[in-house]
Structure 1
Amino acid sequence: MQRLLDENTSTPPPHVVEDCRGVLQVLSDGTVVRSSASPYAVEDRDDGRVEWRDAAYGGSRGLGVRMYRPKPPRERQGKKPLLRVLAYFHGGGFCIGSRAWPSVHACCLRLADEARAVVLSFDYRLAPEHRLPAAHEDAADALLWLRDRLALTPNNDDDDGVGSWLADSGADPGRLFVSGESAGGNMAHHMAARFGDSGLGPVVKVAGYVLIMPAFTSEAPTESELESPATAALSRDVAERYNRLALPAGANKDHPLMNPLGPDSPGLARVGGRVLVVVGGEDMLKDNQLRYAEEMRAAGNDVELFVLPGEQHGFFSSKPWSEASGEVVRAIGRFMDRDAAAAGSD
């Protein structure tokens, strides 16, 4: 009898209360279960045209960065040309994602090869273990870490050898671009607000920011949100799940870190540097992205807009070898080329 009573009063096993694409699960007892697997099946096209290596940044946080450099054409001999540098932050609702995911890796391979850039893909702390502003703090630390290594001379390297690797790659400290997709695009905006084009010091210059389908939200639902089907790559249900897990405790979707146009946001006049905003025509968040570009221009910022009709949120990383993603890579390349052309005309 006592055994029956004990069985009836025993605590039930924990169950899943939040699930993010099967990659992240939060259990009823607060346990967070993560899988290192990516939800996207991506073809491996790493053909050796781009060299890459991993390094660490963030001190005791032990965060990872994957660095890419395109091999110079065989016919080109002698001194290596200087290459622009592209810092990249992956997407995933601030909750999932990794530089090591094949989908993110493929995006960076393509950017390095086709846009001819030295690419650095940074990991950052993820929610719910580390709610916002942890990701933004890590992004700022990543850029400061990169600044210090871009400013090093080959004979005055740091212990990790990254400065020498960048110098040997032909990385140009005067042409740094900061980019990211979805959550990473959000982070790129906040880095523009923090550093602008000159906030990294006299040697390293941020030449532009690339916001690929940036994750901007608002408490009032937009028309594109209301019209978005439940089967969309990013549905309202999935977006709400990410927001619950990532936002600071007690915050809503108008929090300044998620809504740069919200009532408590500092405004856009302080955002510095050229900005490219990439929008998917079927993205649930497109209305917020388009309004952001419009308000940025109204505030006097130099903003370019590139819209891919028919594409859903996150297509750049979920379909990195697609023609649409190729168009994004080429648009980014043109955006970076325009900076070089402007510098040549000075």
Structure 2
Amino acid sequence: MSGQPPPPPITDPFEYLQIVLNPDGTLTRNFNRFTCVPPNPNPNADDVDHPPQPPPTPVISKDVPINPLNNTWARIFLPRQALLDSSSLPLIVFFHGGGFILLSADMDVFHNYCSNLAHTIPAVVVSVDYRLAPEHRLPAAYDECVEALHWIKTSQDEWLRNYADFSQCFLMGSSAGGNIAYHVGLRAAGLVRELEPLKIKGLVLHQPFFGGVQRSGSELRLINDPVLPPIVSDVMWDLSLPKGVDRDHEYCNPTAHGGSKELEKLKSLGWKVLINGCDGDPLVDRQMELMKLMEGKGVQVVGNFRDGGFHGEEDFDPSKAHAMHMVLKDFIISANSID
């Protein structure tokens, strides 16, 4: 025991999230809460002839536009080694978290996470930046991330064309991004021919963000969680769901009303699903309920749940992220062994 008292419960979620809801329905956000970092697009940008400069980074990156009208874009991460041996690598399409209302793909927390992910697997990672709610409520994020898949399949970007194996594609997201990966996956299951030559092999839902009207056991147990208490989740859902619906809407609660019929398509396509979570996350019961629903529909699901932890821990602890990436590496190998 450290002897330190627990932090006081969060009573003002708007103050905690550092947001202000304006009369016109838009949000004022604190853009200084996280640092945005530029990509490192030039393979030789940090190759210098004299010390004490750092060695070349193992992963290079660049930003590319998807839909300029909506200002959507992606950051592509490529292991530097692929340039040397012309590797054909699995393609991971990544969706960032932030409760649908915060953050962007160029923030250091996601840049570092995706860079380490690309290096560990190794894989080509496309991190999609989508528009945020409440200015663009759901299903806007789903629509734009499906659009990103269509953009990838037709892109003439040399990194994608030369190094990404389109027959080994995985949709992955953390928190709200995990929710996006799930719903985009359901849509993509009905667009198999339209998305060719992209061939999705599986979904990776990392601490996916789901909810419901009735509190789950873990939400009640962690009602005063210092990271993501239900009072904060409620505000995120209020600002991101379509107006006039509650948290049992399918976007928020995929287990309501017996679940989506699209899950049967995942089964027929042979896609595998990895759900990653921990019992220190108030959302863990929601994640386990989704896993049971998928298992009941005959979907191949791998659950990776550990004791302790907290929501978003892997975003800030590189050792925890590396352990999760090793689980993902095994998952990708197993998914690619099934045709």
2:107 aligns with: 101
Q: Is the 8 A contact 1:67 1:120 kept in 2?
A: yes
Task: For 2:55 and 2:23, locate their aligned partners in 1 and report how far apart those are by CA, in whole Å.
Answer: 41
Give the secondary-structure state (helix, strand or coil) at the position aligned to 2:310. Answer: coil
1:115 alignment partner, one of 111, 121, 124: 121
Q: Cα 1:142–1:201, aligned 2, differ >3 Å: closer, same or farther?
A: closer
Match of 2:312 among 314, 330, 340: 314
Note the C-alpha offset of 1:263. 2.2
The answer for the alignment partner of 2:81 in structure 1 is 72
- Code of the residue aligned with 1:71 in structure 2: it is R
Task: Give 2:7's aligned residue.
Answer: none
Paired with 2:110 and 2:145, the residues of 1 have a C-alpha distance of 17
Q: What is the identity, as a one-letter code, of the residue corresponding to 2:168?
A: R
Higher mean C-alpha displacement, 29-38 vs 305-314: 29-38
Write the letter of the residue equivalent to 2:294: M
Equivalent position amino acid for 1:269 in 2: E
* Structure 1 unaligned blocks of 5 or more: 1-16, 150-156
Structure-2 separation of matches of 1:199 and 1:190: 18
1:234 aligns with 2:228: yes
Q: CA RMSD in A?
A: 2.5
Residue 52 of structure 1 aligns with an amino acid whose one-letter code is S
2:176 paired residue number: 183
Query: Any unmatched runs of 5+ in structure 2?
Result: 1-11, 38-53
Percent identical across equivalent pairs?
29
| Partners of 2:147 and 2:293 in 1: CA distance | 28
Which of 188, 194, 204 is equivalent to 2:198? 204
Task: State the structure with more CA Rg.
Answer: 1
> Counterpart in 2 of 1:54?
63
Alignment of 1:206-221 (within 5 A): 206-221=200-215
**TM-score relative to the length of structure 2:** 0.83
The correspondence for 1:193, drawn from 176, 179, 186, is 186
Task: Give SS of 2:131's match.
Answer: coil
> C-alpha deviations, 1:306-344, integer Å up to 9, x for none?
112211112222x141x222111111111111133346x
2 CA distance for matches of 1:41 and 1:220? 37
Is 1:255 matched with 2:249? Answer: yes
Shift of 1:167: 2.3
Aligned partners of 1:54, 1:180: CA distance in 2, in Å? 19
Cα contact 1:21–1:39 (8 A) shared by 2:
no
Deviation, structure 1 residue 58: 2.2
Q: Which amino acid aligns with 2:153?
A: R
Q: 2:139 aligns with which of 133, 137, 144?
A: 133
8 Å CA contact retained: 2:13, 2:232: no
Alpha-carbon distance between aligned partners in 2 of 1:40 and 1:253, rounded to the nearest angstrom: 32
Contact 2:150 2:195 (C-alpha < 8 Å) held by counterparts: no
Instruction: Name the TM-score, length of structure 1 as normaliser.
Output: 0.82
